[in-house]
Amino acid sequence: MATLWGGRFEKNTDEAVFAFNASISFDKRLLRADIGGSKVHAEMLARQGILTEEEEARIQQGLDAILSDVEEGRLEVSETFEDVHSFVESELTDRIGEPGKKLHTGRSRNDQVALDMKLFTRQEAIELDACVKALMQVIQQISEAHIDTIMPGFTHLQKAQPITLAHHLNAYFEMFKRDRTRLRDLLSHMDTSPLGSGALAGTTYPLDREWTAKALGFAAATANSIDGVSDRDYLIELLSALSIIMMHLSRFCEEMILWNTDEYRFIELDDAFSTGSSIMPQKKNPDIAELVRGKTGRVYGALVSMLVTMKGLPLAYNKDMQEDKEPVFDAIDTTKACLTLFAAMLASTKFNTERMRASASGGFTNATDLADYLVGKGVPFRDAHGIVGQVVLSCIERKKSIEELSLSELRAFSEVIDEDVYDAISLETCVNRRETTGAPGKTAMERALEENRRYLEKD
């Protein structure tokens, strides 16, 4: 074990304590961010005359070499160190000697780790945003092909009114669009650099915090050094945004699982995204969709874990905060994998359009339209609702759909019904007369899909 401290200690750390305290097994993932932050810190120290140019040049070369050696497999991050920060400093000092020991001037691991996590989160949020966008592109593509594919829309999981597949999928497009705004909002909330906050109270060196903030791509330096080292809000915001993305994916998966059943048969999942059973030869199971749904709980777990970790912490840094890393890393990896696999699964799914249409024509999805037809003929809506209720009841008894009743059968319920009723309650009419913004009618959907195309081109 190798530590950055020891001067005031008379005994060595107990081995079990060292292992318990160490974070290197997981925070080595921050290596690139850590080195990136250190390079800017060193450059600023030289600009401020705290390091000589020669010292700075050696630090820069040393840090670059460590990063490339690790990333290209020539150097392993040794787990004999407490954390990634200790590893880099020790490796640097081994390589370049004295200047390596000066790198930590005016800095604490508290502002260092706060910076590393922010740099890491920023990069990951950008990548996650791209994954969400890629999924939206798949949704858009399928929607464009299915603007005329009629299916039942549901409430309470009961057939309600006819819609189109494009309309249904477009609801998910909107959800993922909001997810992207959440990721972007979080990026704007975390746009301040904690570097130079020190342990909690800044430093006595003339650091140029504004310069390092700009050099690291932040809008400004954090305004308060205590907040700088103890803020983990952005991680909670990230986990919250990821939880909502997962919730959306999970609802989508739930529908795909249902739609893939023999009872629905709206879709057929591709063989490549299904698995078989060890005992039942006929089975083709939607495991990927189920796993995405299942992993949603894990991402929620990360959010709750982070909220609980932070809730009782006095200012400023406390070691509890080291517990931020594993849930955040896991939630990011899980969400990325789910987004990517789900998009590929969706892209390869076959939609059984005939079956969807047949399902929409059962279950009286045009009952509202018959009521609207009666209203058009002067019947008050409440009366129309009652009349259609009786029509439906009678259809159930006769095992017929509304449009299968003859004109005289229909007129028995209301004299105002005429031959034009059949056109008025056809599925196409039911869908295409719904032309208000956001509705499934063809013109409204074409407008929505055009809007989506512009959105996807723009960002």
Rule CB under 6 A: which residues touch ligand ARG?
Answer: 23, 27, 83, 109-110, 113, 317, 319, 321-322
Encoded tokens for 447? 């407008």
Cβ closer to ligand ARG: 320 or 446? 320
DSSP codes joined into one string, 40-68:
HHHHHHHHTTSS-HHHHHHHHHHHHHHHH
Q: How far apart are CA 319 and CA 300, in angstroms?
A: 23
Annotate 15-39 with b (16+ C-beta within 10 A) or e (fewer). Answer: eeebeeebbbebbbbbbbbbbbbbb
What minimum distance in Å lies between the beta carbon of 321 and ligand ARG? 5
Cβ closer to ligand ARG: 83 or 179? 83
Choosing from 243, 277, 359, 414, the catalytic residue is: 277
Cβ closer to ligand ARG: 20 or 399? 20
Cβ closer to ligand ARG: 92 or 246? 92
Choosing from 156, 188, 406, 408, the catalytic residue is: 156
390 closest CA partner among 370, 376, 406: 370
Encoded tokens for 75? 């150097």
Q: Which residue of this chain has its Cβ atom nearest to ligand ARG in the complex?
A: 322
Query: What DSSP designation does 2 have?
Result: B
What minimum distance in Å lies between the beta carbon of 109 and ligand ARG? 4
Answer yes or no: 168 catalytic: no
* Residue 152: strand pairing partners: 162
H/E stretch holding 159 reads strand 158-164
What minimum distance in Å lies between the beta carbon of 306 and ligand ARG? 13
Answer yes or no: 277 catalytic: yes
What minimum distance in Å lies between the beta carbon of 110 and ligand ARG? 5
Q: How far apart are CA 144 and CA 146, in angstroms?
A: 6
278 phi/psi in degrees, rounded to 5: -75, -20
What minimum distance in Å lies between the beta carbon of 435 and ligand ARG? 56
Residues whose CB is less than 8 angstroms from the CB of residue 364 and which lie 6 or more positions away in sequence, other chains included: 159, 392, 395, 401, 402
What minimum distance in Å lies between the beta carbon of 304 and ligand ARG? 20
> In this structure, which amino acid lies at residue 147?
I
Cβ closer to ligand ARG: 66 or 113? 113
Reduce the DSSP state of residue 262 to 3 states and report it: coil
Cβ closer to ligand ARG: 169 or 306? 306
Q: Is 198 left (phi over 0), alpha (psi -120 to 50) or beta?
A: left
Catalytic residues: 156, 277
